[in-house]
Amino acid sequence: MSEDANYKSELVGVFGHPVAENPTIVMIEAAFRDLNLNLNWRYLNIEVLPEDLQTAVVGLRSMQFKGINLTIPHKVNVLPFLDRLAPDAKLMGAVNTVRREGDLLIGENTDGKGFLRSLRDDAGLDPSGKRVVFLGAGGAARAMAIELALSGAESILIINRSAERGESLNRLIKENTSCESEYLPWVSGVSFPSDTDVLVNATSIGLFPNVTEKADINYDCISRDMVVCDVIPNPPKTPFLAVANARGARTLDGLGMLVYQGAIAFRMWTGQEPSVEVMKEALESVFQ
């Protein structure tokens, strides 16, 4: 063994249930290889049952993991086991990324930040002063809407099927940010204002294998002045975006958001900036 050899493993990964089909490992490990970090750094898909989450976090501390992603069903339940929360993650009440600061475990949420970076870098759009419409009010919508509101969006209209989740996101925005907010019940063929700047599908409609499904809205409301976004990363070309495209709107797919939220977590863990092109290519190679 040479004197300067260092074979210590630096561990990150994801806690979830199930995790077998979670593809984040593919894009993160591709970025490790690209930056020559692959001798030491490892991303692990770790199956953790809901009742074992607390002990899993204790294990994370004792094995000195550099960080972890959280996916279903742990994004909310992990909160009491962490030392500190980033202000946006605290507002959302959900954590998708944990990073270490010394001995402390800090809860972050990179989903909404990934969406913002995709809006800024790929669509060239500054959210400040913009009018935004969200279809959906689940975990992804909460993260994206809060980041937009904190970034100075003028107004957010939430269209959601269940009134409870729609009203809850509406209240969260109203009570914690200076952004105007409103909830509209989702009826079949629902319309939205023609002066909307950004329309976001933040529902699971169109996710593989239901690739032909499309949100039940009035598509005549979409104009060429709008940026239309979808959270669905697989497949990224959804019927929702296809209609928006045909109506002349600029479109943003969910693959970009997925790559950027991973790239932000990667930088939090390693301190290095990964290539989003390398990460995207790796994901595209495994998606249907």
Least distance between ligand NDP and beta carbon 6 (Å): 33
- First-to-last alpha carbon distance for the chain, in angstroms, is 43
Is 241:253 a contact under the CB 8 Å cutoff?
yes
Of 224, 250, 245, the closest CA to residue 124 belongs to 250
**In the numeric block, which tokens belong to residue 207?**
């996710």
Pairing of β 104-108 and β 84-85: parallel
Cβ proximity to ligand NDP: between 249 and 255 the closer is 255
> How far apart are the C-alpha atoms of 23 and 17, rounded to whole Å?
14
Q: Is residue 75 among the annotated active site residues?
A: yes
Residue number with the shortest CB distance to ligand NDP?
138
What are phi and psi for residue 35, nearest 5 degrees? Answer: -100, 15
* Cα(279)–Cα(233) distance, integer angstroms: 13
> Least distance in Å: CB of 258 to ligand NDP?
4
**Residue 16's beta-bridge partner residues?**
47
Catalytic residue among 66, 75, 130, 280: 75
| Distance of closest approach, residue 161 Cβ to ligand NDP, in angstroms | 3
Residue placing its CB nearer to ligand NDP in the complex, 150 or 217? 217
Q: Using the minimum distance from each CB to ligand NDP, give the nearer residue, 100 or 165.
A: 165
CB of 257 to ligand NDP, least distance (A): 4
Residues that bind ligand NDP (CB under 6 A): 111, 114, 136-141, 160-162, 165, 186, 203-205, 207, 231-233, 254, 257-258, 261
CB closer to ligand NDP out of 44 and 207: 207
Dihedral class, residue 84 (left if φ above 0, else alpha if ψ from -120 to 50, else beta):
beta
CB 100 within 8 A of CB 110: no
Our CB check for ligand NDP shows the closer of 162 and 194 to be 162
Name the minimum Å distance from CB 103 to ligand NDP: 29
H helices present in the chain, as ranges: 24-34, 53-62, 87-92, 111-123, 139-150, 163-176, 239-246, 254-270, 276-286
User: CB 281 → ligand NDP: shortest distance, Å?
Assistant: 16
Residue placing its CB nearer to ligand NDP in the complex, 241 or 258: 258
* Residue 219: CA count within 13 A, CB half-sphere: 14
The catalytic residue positions are: 75
